[in-house]
Amino acid sequence: MATVEVADAPGRAALEAVPVIVWAADAQGEREWHNRRYYEYTGLTPERARDGGWLETLHPDEVIDFARRWKRAVASLVPFEIDFRLRGADGRYRWFLTRAVPVRDAGGNVLGWYGVNIEVEKQKSAFAEMARIAEMLQRAYLPQQFPAIAGIEFDAVYVPAAKPALIGGDWYDVEEFPSGSICISVGDVAGHGIEASIIASRIRQAILTLAGEYEDPMLVLRKVNRALLRRADPVFATATVAILSADLSTLRYTSAGHPPGFIARAYDATIEPFEIDGVPLGVHAELQNSNHELNLHQRDLLAFYTDGLVEADKNILLGMAKLQVSLRKRVTQQDSDDIAQRVVDEVLDDELSGDDLALLLVRILR
């Protein structure tokens, strides 16, 4: 089978002279050449880099993910992109962004791959600091504990995005009102970083204030939508707001472009999706949403989440299917400890979420 012979290519001199790392692989994804800059940076010799020896310069924490994603790109013939830490000749690991594309002949057959590694250490450090602040704000804004209410259990987990720059914007909230009813909200602000975290907190507080006054999910989201449209800068967010009756027998809810929640029925282990409504907040002047109602029974389990939970592998339907399987386990096995984290682990299945995610579980005990 034909391979990319970079050593014989007319552009070899130019590739040797560029100040970034350039490499080539054959059609099966096996590395066969690196430019001079690679050897200068890593301290490896061409002999040591052969036959997979170049993998020893990758940070141990990133080797498995790098290899898995590279194998997937080669098999699907799609461009490859990942950031990872590469060890220099001084023994220090620095962050690099690598991109590789397949090289094809006139007939469209893949001959091999060309890749480039660009150092992004400074950018990564800046993103990491921004992410640290965003995550700190995000966790500070989320409830530190849930109200103690007889006959009901809450469990939740927030997971920051795998990429630091994508942290911020997801929330969940629970509040008991003097009437005995309980307000539940979950949502996701478009965008990331510190600003998204702050906006998410403001929306969450607005929902709580309005729900305490009206106890009408549809009206609450419509008022929040109008408030967002009055901002000078556009803000888009998805949200679900639900009001649980004081006797825990019914749940009235509405949504604005948010992924559907689920209820796992304890008596027959069936899973029912919530009704979903309309477009996200901040899009249209009038939100066309409606209230929906669920009757609740003992040991039923409600799941509210943000899209980062079901989009980790870029297949939303598969993510939702995994979520339903996990919820069914929770009602048939009657787990009681760390059930939210168990659900997240089972849905992600070792995938790294490209977005932050929030999951709130509510179990009816009576």
What is the pLDDT, as a whole number, of residue 176?
Answer: 95
Q: What is the 3-state secondary structure (H, E, C) of the chain?
A: CCCCCHHHCCCHHHHHHCCCEEEEEECCCCEEEECHHHHHHHCCCHHHHCCCHHHHHECCCCHHHHHHHHHHHHHHCCCEEEEEEEECCCCCEEEEEEEEEEEECCCCCEEEEEEEEEECHHHHHHHHHHHHHHHHHHHHHCCCCCCCCCCEEEEEEEECCCCHHHCCCEEEEEEECCCCCEEEEEEEECCCCHHHHHHHHHHHHHHHHHHHHHCCHHHHHHHHHHHHHCCCCCCCEEEEEEEECCCCCEEEEEEECCCCCEEECCCCCCEEECCCCCCCECCCCCCCCCCEEEECCCCCEEEEECHHHCCCCCCHHHHHHHHHHHHHHHHHHCCCCCHHHHHHHHHHCCCCCCCCEEEEEEEECC
Distance separating alpha carbons of residues 299 and 309, to the nearest angstrom: 23
6 has a pLDDT exceeding 80: no
330 has a pLDDT exceeding 90: yes
pTM of the model: 0.65
Write out the residue limits of the CATH 3.30.450.20 domain(s) in the chain: 6-119
Confidence grade of residue 250 (pLDDT, cut at 50, 70, 90): very high
What is the pLDDT, as a whole number, of residue 328?
Answer: 94
Report pLDDT digits (tens) over 201-248.
Answer: 889 999 999 999 999 999 999 999 999 999 888 889 999 999 999 999
What is the pLDDT, as a whole number, of residue 233?
Answer: 84
What is the pLDDT, as a whole number, of residue 160?
Answer: 76
Q: How far is CA 200 from CA 34, 98, 256, 318, in A?
A: 46, 33, 15, 27
What is the pLDDT, as a whole number, of residue 349?
Answer: 82
Report pLDDT digits (tens) over 191-210.
Answer: 776 778 888 888 999 999 99
Work out the average pLDDT over 112-132: 76
What is the pLDDT, as a whole number, of residue 51?
Answer: 83
Domain covering 126-364: architecture: 4-Layer Sandwich (3.60)
Q: At what angle do helices 121-141 and 194-214 cross, to 10 degrees?
A: 20
| More confident position, 301 or 122 | 301
| More confident position, 334 or 304 | 304
Report pLDDT digits (tens) over 40-73.
Answer: 999 999 999 888 889 999 999 999 999 999 999 9
What is the pLDDT, as a whole number, of residue 219?
Answer: 96
Place of tokens 């339903």: 324
Distance separating alpha carbons of residues 149 and 182, to the nearest angstrom: 9
Both tokens of residue 94?
A: 């620095």
What is the pLDDT, as a whole number, of residue 315?
Answer: 85
164-190 residues labelled b (16+ CB within 10 A) or e (exposed): bbbbbbbbbbbbbeeeebbbbbbbbbe
Pick the CATH number of 6-119 from 1.20.58.1180, 3.40.50.300, 3.30.450.20, 3.40.47.10: 3.30.450.20
104 has which bridge partners? Answer: 110
Place of tokens 């080669």: 74
Confidence grade of residue 301 (pLDDT, cut at 50, 70, 90): very high
Residues of the chain with pLDDT > 70, as a percent, come to 87
Distance separating alpha carbons of residues 318 and 310, to the nearest angstrom: 8
What is the pLDDT, as a whole number, of residue 156?
Answer: 94
Residue type, 108: G
Write out the residue limits of the CATH 3.60.40.10 domain(s) in the chain: 126-364
Work out the average pLDDT over 3-28: 70
Q: Is 144 within 8 Å of 158 (Cβ atoms)?
A: no
